Amino acid sequence: MINVGIVGGTGYTGVELLRLLVQHPKVRIKAITSRGEAGMSVAELFTNLRGHIDLKFSDPADAKLSQCDVVFFATPNGIAMQQAEILLEAGVKVIDLAADFRIKDVAEWERWYGMQHACPHLVAEAVYGLPEINRDEVKNARLIANPGCYPTAVQLGFLPLIEAGIVDTDHLIADVKSGVSGAGRKAEVHTLHAEASDNFKAYGVPGHRHLPEIKQGLSRVAQHPVGLTFVPHLVPMIRGIHATLYAKITNQIDLQALYEKRYQDEAFVDVLPAGKHPETRSVRGSNLCRIAVHQPQNGDTAVILSVTDNLVKGAAGQAIQNMNILFGLSETMGIQQVPLLP
Among the listed residues 237, 173, 179, the one whose alpha carbon sits nearest the alpha carbon of residue 205: 173
**CA 235 to centroid of chain Cα atoms:** 18
Within a 10 A sphere around the Cβ of 159, how many other Cβ atoms? 23
Of the candidates 68, 119, 149, 289, the residue annotated as catalytic is: 149
Q: Is 194 exposed, middle or buried (0-12, 13-18, 19+ CB in 10 A)?
A: exposed
Furthest CA-CA distance within the chain: 62
Q: Any catalytic annotation for residue 149?
A: yes
* Identity of the residue numbered 184: G
What distance in Å separates the CA atoms of residue 286 and residue 279, rounded to the nearest whole number?
13
Helix ranges, 165-243 (H): 193-196, 210-222
Question: Which one-letter DSSP state was computed for residue 202?
Answer: E
User: Which residues are annotated as catalytic?
Assistant: 149
